[in-house]
Amino acid sequence: MKKRLHITAALTMLFGIAQAQNKAWSEAGTFDSKGAVWNYNLGKGTGNAGDKFSSGEAIKTSVSSTATPGFLAYPSSGFAAVTTGANAGGAIKVEGKDAAAKLVLEASSNASANKFAVYDISKASAVSSLLFNVSFKSENDPTNGAVVFGIGNARGNNIFKNTAALTGADAVGLFAGLRWEFSTNKAVFFSYRKLNNGSYGYKLINANSFTKTGEHQVELYINNAATEQKYTKLGTAYTLAPATFNIWVDGKLIAAESGSAFPASGELAPEAPLNSFLFQGYHSKGAIPNTLTLSLSNIQLNSTK
């Protein structure tokens, strides 16, 4: 009888976790042509490298797949990699269990970024949405450093597959980039990647969509097709021109200079499937280094047919 009760309780708990994960994106938008849904359960299919991946004197990396488990949980398709920079300090950890698990990345103290990347997701498409929860948790108030995000296509040994940091140089295969930058005030400066005078920098979007404390829901709706695409969210239809994307934060559509769509960075050919993304943290070098911390959960990539 006790064994039966334990089994029932365990199933109830697992069902509750699954429901909580699904509920996180119950109000997310959908494109007209639904395709594959890829979820990354950070607490399932774990690797064999312990619960902490720390920086050392040289660049370190670990790649996980269904064929070869590494530090991270291996995804249902594709590869998940972590990299720590040389003499960069900080570590990458997984906190929590099962579907409630979170990836915690401590930003490096120099330009050799600590990095998390997923690449070669199967059944990907040029029209996609990427959803994730993000927070910048820290016991100390981060007063410098930045977190950079990129999405695109893994092609050759490009930025998604290698251990290099995403910088202002041309990054073949990158569709778009975002940056969260920290300073001595309470604002989080949120920007998007843009070509300027031959190199890539970041243009400010705003300083109020994200906070140094609290968790935020982010939804990206992306069109790398040659024609305009439509998605529907909460009963309202939105149109994306080619090579543009929408950003939603905590249920609010973020405005660009000319409407709601932001332009792609121009580093990825049209119609290439969006099968890869990355996050990196670096330059957290204040009085107490590595205080800038990125936390990620509920990561979901939705493709179209």
Tell me how far apart the alpha carbons of residues 181 and 84 are, in angstroms, rounded to a whole number: 20
Per residue in 161-176, pLDDT (tens digit) is 999 999 999 999 999 9
Q: Which residue has the higher pLDDT, 97 or 192?
A: 192
Q: Is the pLDDT of residue 220 over 80?
A: yes
Beta bridge partners of 56: 86
Nearest Cα residue to 167 out of 112, 90, 91, 130: 112
Q: What domains sit in the chain, N to C, each tagged with a CATH number?
A: 31-304 (2.60.120.200)
Confidence category of residue 23, pLDDT binned at 50, 70, 90: low
Q: Which residue has the higher pLDDT, 213 or 271?
A: 271
Q: Helix (H, G, I), strand (E, B), or coil: what is residue 148?
A: strand
Q: Which residue has the higher pLDDT, 193 or 155?
A: 193
CA 278 to chain centre: 6
Q: Is the pLDDT of residue 24 over 90?
A: no
Per residue in 235-279, pLDDT (tens digit) is 999 999 999 999 999 999 999 887 889 999 999 999 999 999 999
In the chain, helix, strand, coil percent, each to 5?
10, 45, 50
Q: Report the amino acid identity of residue 180.
A: W
Tell me how far apart the alpha carbons of residues 142 and 183 are, in angstroms, rounded to a whole number: 7
Region 55-60 average pLDDT:
96
Tell me how far apart the alpha carbons of residues 181 and 292 are, in angstroms, rounded to a whole number: 10
* The predicted structure's pLDDT at residue 258: 78
Cβ partners under 8 Å of residue 85, min gap 6: 55, 59, 108, 110, 111, 112, 113, 114, 115, 165, 282
Q: Is the pLDDT of residue 133 over 50?
A: yes
CB 47 within 8 A of CB 72: yes
Give the CA count within 13 Å in the CB-facing half-sphere of 118.
25
* The predicted structure's pLDDT at residue 44: 82
Nearest Cα residue to 142 out of 288, 278, 277: 288
Summary mean pLDDT of the chain? 90
